Chain A
Amino acid sequence: MTENPFQYAPAPESRSIVDIAPSYGLFVDGEFVDGGGKSFKTVNPATEEVLSEVAAGTAEDVDRAVRAARRAFTRVWGPMRPADRGKYLFRIARLLQERAREFAVLESLDNGKPIRESRDVDVPLAAAHFFYHAGWADKLGWAGLGPGPRPLGVAGQVIPWNFPLLMLAWKVAPALATGNTVVLKPAETTPLTALLFAEVCRQADLPPGVVNIVTGAGDTGRAVVEHDDVDKVAFTGSTEVGRSIARAVAGTRKKLTLELGGKAANIVFDDAPIDQAVDGIVQGIFFNQGHVCCAGSRLLVQENVHDEVIASLQRRIGTLRLGDPLDKNTDIGAINSAEQLARIRELSDVGVAEGAQRWQPACELPARGFWFPPTVFTDVSPAHRIARDEVFGPVLSVLTFRTPDEAVAKANNTTYGLSAGIWTEKGSRILKIADQLRAGVVWANTFNKFDPTSPFGGYKQSGYGREGGRHGLAAYLKGSDA
């Protein structure tokens, strides 16, 4: 094949818009303060360059943050007129929009995701969550959760590294709209946008203590979850950590919502719009390097179109552009950390060892940083680990089915149940299959679409409780059950 004459020149988004400090403290009671723990470095996963040093919160730091949150709850935020709480949320939402480019660049630097996604998905959705919940703040009595629902108090929230700002928005916006105050721990590898959000809180004149951000690793998270004066725990992350949190919270008065792993089935019937289904498969598993709990990591394709779909998929994957996350034309960015890369490599190798066929496009990986090419496994059996374990990376396992019943049985044959996708031109089939799938979100002829009005959450080991929509409010209110 001759060289393609149309080579896109580098089109990097300028990073001069962000101003990263050499070190950051914790955000407690409206002030940045030093942490008691040993500070840690956060790196750019695309280059392994150290971006900043971040303070680690100890149990004492967490205690100080929870006390600040409690004070803010009893004195200011709890008694405040709901309409006024809404005003603060609207102000935060607008500031997120105004500073959208800054947030997008910082997110891509710290997380490794392509700027196209942070700019077009993460940041706009985060702002949308604040706008949406701002609207609810003075209408909670009409949310169908009973008359005059009341806030719980202090919410302890622990979020993952895959969508750092968006997950913060999913947690903070509903908590604040319902009148709670929060202590939030961002992920160890991606703390920077949460700290920029702290600055936005100050810019919005949010009363001190309403939002507290305590950075750190697992110990800090445990201190947040186990603190006696926390009324509500919300966690998004791995099923393993979710289990230990459930154990820690068991027997206390704390309310708990968990949003954990997934191994979603993306079901393609033979009458699907093939080109769009292929786009949907790509969007399902390669969006955000596959670091998505609801990723469509198991492709269930009807046997009679298997070869056609796989050929089309491979051709499409060949057009994806992997590289510098800040380049506006990049489709696939860097894996978030060396640990995650090691796990993806391990599971991918297990796939080969267990007898599945691994396919990767011919693509050059950058010499520095953490990278993994988009990968497709065919001849996968439901018994293989790559068909059962969450890889949390750009690795797709392809299985086949012959009848709708078999598709449903295979789709549900997982310990998870977060999301699923159905591709068919037949409307009645969509409704029938969706009804039988045990998954919190079922997408039809699309995948990985998010909206603040739509509740999100899982079945089985994917967790419990819902985030977003009217249902998501229930998790932060008294007199109603999540």
Chain B
Amino acid sequence: MTHVLDPDAVTAETPPRREPLAPYRDVTRSDAAFRAFLHGLPGVDQVGAEARVAVLGTRSIKTTAKAWAIDTAISMVDLTTLEGADTPGKVRSLAAKARRPDPGDPSCPQVAAVCVYGDLAGVASEALAGSGVHTAAVATAFPSGRASRAVKLADVRDAVTNGADEIDMVIDRGAFLAGRYLDVYDEIVAVKEACARPDGQGRAHLKVILETGELVTLDAVRRASWLAMLAGGDFIKTSTGKVSPAATLPVCLVMLEAVRDFRAATGRQVGVKPAGGIRNTKDAVKHLVLVNEVAGPDWLSPDWFRFGASSLLNDLLLQRQKLRTGHYSGPDHVTID
């Protein structure tokens, strides 16, 4: 499996700007108009948002509800390894785990996807072939996004060619914070086009990473969410996992409000993926409660909600075993990655 830059990509021109969905066709006509639109979105009161997630955090999910939540959370996991030290062997072992998270219990659901760097997408997709588990690859000079657009697009095409059917891109946070919204928008549009499969059979699913830890304010999170949805992102994702803080409940709340409002306005449903920092079942269940009560039950499926995580899965499995057997087992009862 080689990692080859498309030699044509370096000189490839940015395609003409694509309009967003109605009723927002005209908001990208100029930087000023786009800025006016994004800054005209209702503000987010941080204290109020934190209070809301605190109350939802007290929801007590027990017995049958807990069993459902654990299985659903497992099915939403994007099992992730994004280390410089990753090897094909590690990715294969992760893929095996993705197919059968609990080797001792065939009733345990599969995870949603395995998420790797683009060069390993081929290994992953081969190992996952026929399983229904997706291959997600991070691209666009992940995690910083500091590369020319040509390189980013080449990165995407490469990953798609290697077999990724989901692309996790990062936005240009520098451009976003500097107010160059159209640049960010155009880049997402271009990446989405680069997601087209070489054989012409559809395109890879696009998740847009906002890196909320660098956006800092909830107002910026709401604006970036809308920007990414208008540009055609299939999912909006909190973080790369390389920046702290990563996924937090208030950030997830604001993003869930955004996808809910966006669907109400345009009819298009966009998914949400918190990533980074969700380590245990309790955190995962809190997120599911948030999905249920903020965006609504329509988002309670792996098609519309994912967890980007590595250690979360093992805790979900341990809690699942506890619920079934009535006692806690130890860390040796789940596989290490």
Contact = CB atoms under 8 A, between A and B. Distances in A.
Interface of A: 2, 4-11, 116, 120, 271-276, 279-280, 319, 328-329, 425, 445-446
A116 B54 CA distance: 12
A116 B292 CA distance: 19
Nearest to B253: A275
A280 B49 CA distance: 11
A5 B47 contact: no
B44 A7 contact: no
Interface of B: 42-45, 47-49, 51-52, 55, 58-66, 68-69, 72, 257, 288, 292-293, 297, 300
Given A9-B64, A9-B66, A274-B42, A4 B49 contact: no
B292 A272 contact: no
Contact of B45 (A8, A9, A329, A445): A445
Contacts of B69: 6
Given A116-B58, A328-B58, A5 B68 contact: yes
B286 to A, nearest CB: 13
A116 B60 CA distance: 10
Contact of A273 (B42, B59, B293): B42
Contacts of A10: 62
Contacts of B68: 5-7
Contacts of A279: 48, 51-52
B63 A9 contact: yes
Nearest to B48: A276
Contacts of B297: 2, 4-6
A445 B257 CA distance: 18
B191 to A, nearest CB: 29
A4 B292 contact: yes
A335 B48 CA distance: 27
A271 B64 CA distance: 42
B65 A6 contact: yes
Given A120-B58, A319-B293, A328-B60, A9 B65 contact: yes
A273 B44 contact: yes
B217 to A, nearest CB: 12
Contacts of A276: 44-45, 47-49, 52
Contact of B62 (A11, A273, A280): A11
Contacts of A2: 297
Interface of B is mostly: helix
A273 B48 contact: yes
A2 B297 CA distance: 9
Contact of A6 (B44, B60, B300): B300
Contacts of B55: 116
Contacts of A11: 60-62
Given A5-B72, A6-B65, A328-B59, 19 more contacts: A4-B292, A5-B300, A6-B288, A6-B292, A6-B297, A6-B300, A7-B68, A9-B62, A9-B65, A11-B60, A11-B62, A116-B55, A116-B58, A272-B42, A276-B44, A276-B49, A279-B51, A329-B59, A446-B48
A185 to B, nearest CB: 33
Contacts of B65: 6-9
A453 B60 CA distance: 32
Contacts of A446: 47-48, 51
A160 B43 CA distance: 38
- Count chain B CB atoms within 10 A of each CB in A5, A280, A445, A446 and give the residue with the most: A5
Contacts of B288: 6
A322 B65 CA distance: 18
Contacts of A9: 61-66
Nearest to B301: A5
B103 to A, nearest CB: 26
Contacts of A271: 42-43
- Count chain A CB atoms within 10 A of each CB in B52, B72, B257 and give the residue with the most: B52
A430 to B, nearest CB: 12
A276 B59 CA distance: 19
A446 B45 CA distance: 9
A275 B44 contact: yes
Contacts of A116: 55, 58
9 contacts: A4-B297, A5-B297, A6-B68, A6-B292, A120-B58, A272-B43, A276-B49, A425-B45, A446-B51
A232 B146 CA distance: 72
Contacts of B63: 9
B315 to A, nearest CB: 20
B60 A329 contact: yes
B255 to A, nearest CB: 12
- Count chain B CB atoms within 10 A of each CB in A276, A279, A425 and give the residue with the most: A276
Nearest to A320: B293
A417 to B, nearest CB: 25
- Count chain B CB atoms within 10 A of each CB in A116, A275, A276, A328 and give the residue with the most: A275
A272 B44 CA distance: 9
B62 to A, nearest CB: 5
A445 B60 contact: no
A89 B169 CA distance: 59
Contacts of A275: 42, 44, 48-49, 257
Nearest to A308: B42
A101 B109 CA distance: 38
B226 to A, nearest CB: 14
Contacts of B43: 271-273, 425
A328 to B, nearest CB: 4
A280 B293 contact: no
B126 to A, nearest CB: 33
A331 B297 CA distance: 19
Given A5-B300, A273-B43, A274-B42, A445 B293 contact: no
B216 to A, nearest CB: 17
